Structure 1
Amino acid sequence: MNTLASYQPRSAWAMASMLTWLSLINFLDKIVLGMVAVPLMADLKLPPAEFGLIASSFFWLFSLSTVLVGFLSNRVAARWLLLTMGLSWAVLQVPLALAGSAMTILVCRMLLGAAEGPAFPISVHALFKWFPDHKRNLPVAMINQGATVGLLLAGLLIPLVTIRWGWRANFMILAGIGMAWSAMWLCVGREGPITQASAPRAGTAAAPVRLPYLRIFRDPTVLACLAIGFCAYWALALGLTWLPAYLEKGLGFDAVITGRWYAAIVASAMPVTLILSWLSQRMLRAGASSRLARGVVISMAALAGGAVYLAIAAITLAPVPKTLLIAVAACLPPVAFALTPAMLAQIVPEGQRGSVLSIHTALITLAGILAPAVVGQLVQRHGMNGGFDVGFTINALLLLASGVIGLCWIHPERSAKALAASPQDVAAARSPA
């Protein structure tokens, strides 16, 4: 069967649209706690370190759940897994809205993280059943833009909802949105027709049916993708949990202006990710290697983002210029979330694609546990501004290191050939003549 003959553009983009909406809901769920941090901390009398612990609880079961559901996706249709997730998210918003203690919020956020953890890798796995390799960058970028739109809407709407009805009302609204998506997905969601056996792109590993997971995750390209993804997610986790509070308490904006600035920061990432993904896809069509079109692009974005974060920490600036620089820094690393899944799918067997994408997501999102808790401790010790300056420096160093690793290690075509080779071939190639 020919891949292009299996490609159904209208159906494929319809599924991409539904999964983009799901991503929007996913990130509304993630950011809502950070957006209501100030009134919630005042209402429940939470110190910064305790709020940081609650924020990080979202990721305590996130990675474990992502891995377990990833392995399940090798056997269960993505359609049903995604439906279960959507319903779970909606139901878990209700006790959050009614919570009277920090412990209730911690437990609910922990369970919500477990339910939301697998969303991105399972969505990408589902998408790859609809799009051939050379068309995968933009639909994955579109899913990421759903996340960006979710953050943008959160910045604009959550402060207004909070002012009018209180912070708890946001969770009830999210419950209704989640139920609406689940009902639509039940009606229209289905599996795609494209398999890796349908004439894979050159440089794609198609020969082995299964590979040892240790062999996959020792591959240099996979390890470099993990490094860049982890550091990009560290930056994202800070934006989800602490950036709204920093804009309000550190830089002095009021709640509504904070929401607008946050929306502007989020909006700045949308065109950057789409343009870089489109550019990468054009390069692939023109015959560029995946290393150049995908690997070099995400590595340079990490280096540039790290350099800007370092400047933010090192230079004394007024609130508005500092916020503008934060927007520049934040818009660059997220392109890794669009391009690394395509590289991983290019080099691993299709039967293990869902589990590999899920393990990758589980490992990079460990940054979501560490980053909020680390910055919470820094803020507790040094105050909001001093703590964030140290946090920006840590963020910068991580991104700079990961960019160098990416430039040195990401070689998808080489990795595809190495993983497709039998262990005997590998041993023979390594043995002296």
Structure 2
Amino acid sequence: MKFRWFIVFMLFLACVISYLDRAALSVAAPLIAKDFNLDPAHLGIVFSAFFVGYSLFCFIGGYAADRFGARRVLIVAIAFWSIFCSLTAVASGLISLLIIRVVFGAGEGPLATCTNKIVSGWFDRREQTTAVGFANSGLQLGAALAGPVIGLMAVKWGWRVPFVVIGIVGMLWVLMWSIFSSDRPEGNRWIRGTMKLPVSDDAASGKIAEVLPRKPLSAYLKSPIILATSLAYFGYAYILYFFLSWFPSYLMMERHLSLASMSIVNVIPWVLGFMGIALGGFTSDLIFRWTGNALKSRKIVIVVGLLVAAACVALAGIANSVGMAVALMSITVFFMNLTLSVYWAIILDTVEPARMGGVGGFMHLLANTAGILAPILTGFLVQWTKVFTSAFFFAGGISLAGALAVAFFVRLPRKSSASVDNLNMETAHALTD
């Protein structure tokens, strides 16, 4: 039984590496901008380039996970992104950096959907959101590590060296994953015959190709619940990518911190974000146990988390000191990350296993268009206004819109409420067994 948590731990490490890779450019951005003579608008375009490939391959990777298995897709994806992370070190200017970032982003696209799908194969519903939360908490830990690790390495050896080191770490993970992982427990040679299957998974055969979906993918993609959840996820992602791309530069450009000081200060919000993700899944499952209503438990966490995040990020834009700005952004990152696992929990609750990859990839694609928009819009707002205040307020407004979308549009269709209530009661009964 413990081996399934080892699988989650491996996914946790993959998430750590993912954000260590991704945040490396943000930490090193002031040095890169100086080397390549990039102004804020150009730097915003570089940040956004990653998400051009990333957003597209969120969906393509999810579809591939349904067709070929999430384990195989992760092996290819993480090997691919590790290679292109290392190639960042050979960039010679704006154009080469843009090309590398687009392809690098494509490699990272499948991770979240594959993580969700693997958890659905190893855990039953009573623990899925908690498992997803633990795995995803590695994202924020990777970002927290990026400040001191990348910053100090860049100061000592130059900004190119950290990208090579992180790429090597990614390839070591691929080797370990290839040896020990599987899509489902009965397909794992290390524990075969020693643990029971998740009771709620339709894929009893363990062979991806034999699990026939009952509904077309398009039926899920048009669902109001999926569309509204995607909009809320977009609100979360806009703050995330505004913060990930620009907060280090904000601390240096507007608050006049040194690279070494910024690298340390930037750790604080990410540590709280790590705690937020880990607690978000647990909190949602706890409310589920209390209410017996899956959808209500998801809505409460998302709406409260995004509302608090919206208020705090806006206030951070008018903070009168570095300490207050960092404190408010830390609260923002904590509350927005309470919601992260819950978007994926809605997929686990409402989508059949054979469609989870495609639906999750679609939701992830829509949400991560924020990764394209947030860095560019922030860059141009800063270029135009010469300060960051408007960018903070705009990010808060997007988060508020996401909270309202879930509050008003994520609800059960009246004609199917009885069947869904039955599903909630069955699940609640399973949780208390």
**TM-score normalised to the size of structure 1?**
0.88
Q: Does 1:407 align with 2:407?
A: yes
Task: Pick one of 135, 143, 155 that aligns with 1:163.
Answer: 155
Q: Does 1:391 align with 2:391?
A: yes
Task: Pick one of 209, 215, 218 that aligns with 2:219.
Answer: 215
Q: Is the 8 A contact 2:248 2:266 kept in 1?
A: yes
Q: Is the 8 A contact 1:69 1:358 kept in 2?
A: yes
Match of 1:272 in 2: 276
Cα deviation digits, residues 163-200 of structure 1 (max 9, x gap)? 1100000111111101110111111011224463389x
Match of 1:429 in 2: none
Match of 1:364 in 2: 367
Q: Secondary structure at the match of 1:276?
A: helix
Q: Is the 8 A contact 2:311 2:396 kept in 1?
A: yes
Task: Work out the CA distance in 2 between the residues paired with 1:419 and 1:169.
Answer: 56
Match of 2:192 in 1: none
Cα deviation digits, residues 355-389 of structure 1 (max 9, x gap)? 11111111100000000000111111122xx2x21
Task: Work out the CA distance in 1 between the residues paired with 2:106 and 2:112.
Answer: 13
Cα deviation digits, residues 231-257 of structure 1 (max 9, x gap)? 100111112211101011111211111
**Matched AA of 1:222:** I
Count of aligned positions: 401
Q: Does 1:259 align with 2:251?
A: no
Within 5 Å, give how 1:305-316 maps onto structure 2.
Answer: 305-313=309-317, 315-316=318-319
State the Cα distance separating 1:419 from its structure 2 match: 10
Task: Work out the CA distance in 2 between the residues paired with 1:21 and 1:34.
Answer: 20
Match of 1:55 in 2: 47
Within 5 Å, give how 1:327-346 maps onto structure 2.
Answer: 327-346=330-349
Q: Does 1:18 align with 2:10?
A: yes
RMSD: 2.2
Q: Is the 8 A contact 2:81 2:105 kept in 1?
A: no
Q: Is the 8 A contact 1:210 1:352 kept in 2?
A: no
Match of 2:293 in 1: 289
**Matched AA of 2:328:** L
Q: Is the 8 A contact 2:26 2:249 kept in 1?
A: yes
Label 1:276 to 1:413 Cα distance change in 2 as closer, same or farther (>3 A): farther
Cα deviation digits, residues 81-127 of structure 1 (max 9, x gap)? 11111211221123211221221111011000011111111111111
Cα deviation digits, residues 199-253 of structure 1 (max 9, x gap)? 9xxxxxxxx9332334323322212211110010011111221110101111121
Q: Does 1:304 align with 2:308?
A: yes
Task: Work out the CA distance in 2 between the residues paired with 1:210 and 1:262.
Answer: 47
In structure 2, runs of 5+ residues without a counterpart are 185-196, 205-211, 421-433
% of aligned pairs identical? 24
Match of 1:423 in 2: none
Q: Is the 8 A contact 1:348 1:419 kept in 2?
A: no
State the Cα distance separating 1:414 from its structure 2 match: 6.7
Cα deviation digits, residues 251-280 of structure 1 (max 9, x gap)? 121111111111011111222332332222
Task: Work out the CA distance in 2 between the residues paired with 1:415 and 1:221.
Answer: 15
Task: Work out the CA distance in 1 between the residues paired with 2:281 and 2:372.
Answer: 28
Task: Work out the CA distance in 1 between the residues paired with 2:136 and 2:44.
Answer: 25
Task: Work out the CA distance in 1 between the residues paired with 2:258 and 2:363.
Answer: 38
Within 5 Å, give how 1:19-418 maps onto structure 2.
Answer: 19-192=11-184, 193-194=197-198, 196-197=201-202, 209-313=213-317, 315-383=318-386, 386=387, 388-411=388-411
In structure 1, runs of 5+ residues without a counterpart are 1-8, 200-207, 421-433
Task: Work out the CA distance in 1 between the residues paired with 2:414 and 2:104.
Answer: 39
Q: Secondary structure at the match of 2:215?
A: coil
State the Cα distance separating 1:413 from its structure 2 match: 8.7
Q: Is the 8 A contact 2:81 2:106 kept in 1?
A: no
State the Cα distance separating 1:45 from its structure 2 match: 0.9
Task: Work out the CA distance in 2 between the residues paired with 1:142 and 1:65.
Answer: 23
State the Cα distance separating 1:69 from its structure 2 match: 2.0
Task: Work out the CA distance in 2 between the residues paired with 1:101 and 1:279.
Answer: 46
Task: Work out the CA distance in 2 between the residues paired with 1:72 and 1:180.
Answer: 23
Q: Secondary structure at the match of 1:100?
A: coil
**Matched AA of 1:138:** T
Q: Is the 8 A contact 1:232 1:302 kept in 2?
A: yes
Task: Work out the CA distance in 2 between the residues paired with 1:147 and 1:283.
Answer: 24
Q: Secondary structure at the match of 1:96?
A: helix
Task: Work out the CA distance in 1 between the residues paired with 2:346 and 2:230.
Answer: 12
